[in-house]
Amino acid sequence: MNRINILDDNTSNKIAAGEVVERPFSVVKELIENSIDAQATNITIEIYEGGQQSIKITDDGVGVHPDDIKTAFMPHATSKISSIEDVFTINTMGFRGEALPSIASVSNTTFKSRTTEFEYGKEISILGGNLEYIKDSGCNVGTSISVNNLFFNVPARQKFLKSPQRESAMITDIVTRLALAHNNISFKLFNSDKNLITTYASENMLDTIRSIYDKNTSENVINFEEHSDILSVYGYIGTAELSRGSRNNQSVFVNKRYIKSKLITTAVETAFKSFLMINKFPFFIVFIDIYPEMIDVNVHPTKSEIKFKDERVIFKTVFDAVHKALRDSRINSFKVEEDELISVIEKKAEDEKLLQEKIELLEMPIDLNFKNNAISYKPLQNVDAVFEGLGNEKKLPDLRVIGQFYNTYIIAEAKEELYLIDQHAAHEKILFEKYRDEIKNMQVSSQLLIIPTVMELCHEDFSTYIENKELFKSTGFDIEVFGDETITIREVPIILGKPDMKNLFLDIINNLKHMGTGLTVDVKYHKIATIACKAAVKGNDPLSQIEMVRLINDLSYIEDPFNCPHGRPTIIKMSVTELEKKFKRIQ
Ligand code: ADP
Ligand code: MG
């Protein structure tokens, strides 16, 4: 690496400055980036108490020249650029020369480093920005830095920190992304001595995907790539199986830098639209390699946002690459030409339905009385009993069912009015009110799953679960922790029937994760009930006359039959007069 120099004011003033040390996660990110810039092939990260007590990063990179070790901690000291022009052709992660001095000013930092030309290394210790000592030190080639008692002298920052679990979850997340982008480097992350991430340097990114996620993920991704004059786009997209209720498993890297980009996310998701269920977010890892002149990384001090000079080209190239890969993978997986595709897809849907039925048989709850509960409209008998028992008034007139339209809407009449009822929205609302009342009265009845659902969670999801353990219990889920960040779901609320438990659980977790901490438990209950009931109601179903009557009856007795839990209408009414106006019988 070059020797370290201090940028002159003129240059440093042109660099987007600002706080790079917002929380433990930012320290970890900056330090790992330094190790990457130093061409390390092994990087170990150890944290305690969410990083606030201590963060230690050890690498086997090129190290710092002994005479530069103090300079490294001066503001605007960097070995990566010497003038502002260099920023436009930058290929290192850092260049501001701000991280080390900022970190050292709010912690007790010890930095040890040795280069190959020297037999010994140097160690420097800084407390709250003041030099404690510099001394010779026997150490391996490379660098190790410990950051202790972060923010000890900035109480305002301390208050801003989340729980150690949440802070370590954020750290795990950034290490995940950096490890994905640098598959040629081995990463190890330890939280309180517990190993959370291990990757092995490999030329094949699939190996890294497998180490970070799991075998199933690495087997369900499709490779893609596309090149144009100014950029290359490549990476992996997940099959429908890997789609989730949040964008957690989406990573975008530009010149290996992990960034957030609405433009690229939208391009990928749009390409997925014709292939994937809505309401779920696809898994993807997208790399864009582009001439540095075509982007501006100097927009934001943490460099997590960048500007593209030509957004249209970027959007189109990403969209085309992903769309083509999805189309090809469909064709390949059925080994047919495109014109035969439709019938094959229909056939596949049939196969899947058969398979699904088999799975449902296997997963049938032990108590056969509950077999159909909530999934079909048949067994809601107990519902009206409950509502009538609560003394709810009847909210709808006596309706006579005329029939069903489009397997989706019930047509009914009452005196001079025509009723259209959205059967799914209605069903969802009936379940919702019942479930909500059960939760409120602490009377949720659960059913045992014959085959428990076992799930291996990522660190962040697991810690969100642990934080909300009681909430799951009181809403009728019996969940056990089962080894390392793995849970077993044994019981689910009866009212939900046989939900797709994996996706339901992740949806709930994702929602909880993004809720503020100051919310009351009732708000969380409401959210869980909304998500769960949505999951319990399935798509188009032909209904028998009796089922329709039953559904309308149930609907009549709930507190608010007119809106679904999301606030959309469940019922549309039209009077004879309105109809006659439409037919121009009257004015
Ligand atoms: P920047 O990365 O923007 O240059 P930093 O404050 O993060 O600024 O680091 C200052 C300098 O210290 C770097 O330019 C680099 O020369 C040196 N340095 C920091 N960390 C390491 C490391 N892990 N290995 C080798 N050199 C390092
Ligand atoms: Mg840096």
Q: What is the pLDDT of residue 381?
A: 36
* Residue 475, pLDDT above cutoff 60: yes
**C-alpha 96 – ligand 1 centre gap (Å):** 9
* Residue 445, pLDDT above cutoff 90: no
> What is the rounded CA–CA span in Å between residue 291 and residue 81?
17
Confidence label for 483 from pLDDT (cuts 50, 70 and 90):
confident
Domain 213-333, CATH: 3.30.230.10
**C-alpha 297 – ligand 2 centre gap (Å):** 14
Both tokens assigned to 341: 């595709």
Q: What is the pLDDT of residue 496?
A: 84
Helices 521-536 and 423-440: crossing angle in degrees, nearest 10, is 140
- Alpha carbon nearest to ligand 1 atom 20, residue: 34
For 489-497, what is the mean pLDDT?
A: 88
* Nearest in space to 419 (alpha carbons), one of 429, 430, 409, 427: 409
Domain boundaries 9-202, CATH class: alpha beta
Where does the chain hold its CATH 3.30.230.10 domain(s)? 213-333
**C-alpha 584 – ligand 2 centre gap (Å):** 75
- Strand runs labelled E in 345-459: 400-405, 409-414, 417-422, 446-456
**C-alpha 48 – ligand 1 centre gap (Å):** 23
**Highest-pLDDT range among 125-139, 326-340, 526-540:** 125-139
Eight-state DSSP code of residue 114: E
Atom of ligand 1 nearest to the CA of 33: 2
- Alpha carbon nearest to ligand 1 atom 13, residue: 78
pLDDT tens-digit profile of 354-379? 445 544 443 433 332 222 333 334 33
For the chain, what percent of residues have pLDDT higher than 70?
A: 83
* Residue 341, pLDDT above cutoff 60: no
Say which amino acid occupies 95.
F
**C-alpha 33 – ligand 2 centre gap (Å):** 6
**C-alpha 88 – ligand 1 centre gap (Å):** 19
| Torsion, CA 15, CA 17, CA 21, CA 23, rounded to 10 | -110
Say which amino acid occupies 517.
T
What does pTM read for this prediction? Answer: 0.61
**Topology at the third CATH level for domain 368-587:** formyl-coa transferase, domain 3 (3.30.1540)
- Alpha carbon nearest to ligand 1 atom 25, residue: 63
Q: Which-ligand-closest: CA of 98?
A: 1
- Alpha carbon nearest to ligand 1 atom 17, residue: 72
Mutate to test the pocket of ligand 1, among 78, 98, 107 (most ligand atoms within 8 A of CB): 78
Where does the chain hold its CATH 3.30.565.10 domain(s)? 9-202
Beta strands 142-148 and 186-191 are unpaired
> What is the rounded CA–CA span in Å between residue 448 and residue 532?
17
**C-alpha 60 – ligand 2 centre gap (Å):** 16
Mutate to test the pocket of ligand 1, among 6, 11, 27, 37 (most ligand atoms within 8 A of CB): 37
Residues with CB under 6 A from ligand 1: 1, 4, 30, 34-35, 38, 59, 61-64, 72, 77-80, 94-100, 143
Q: What is the pLDDT of residue 329?
A: 80
Q: What is the pLDDT of residue 366?
A: 31
Confidence label for 332 from pLDDT (cuts 50, 70 and 90):
very low
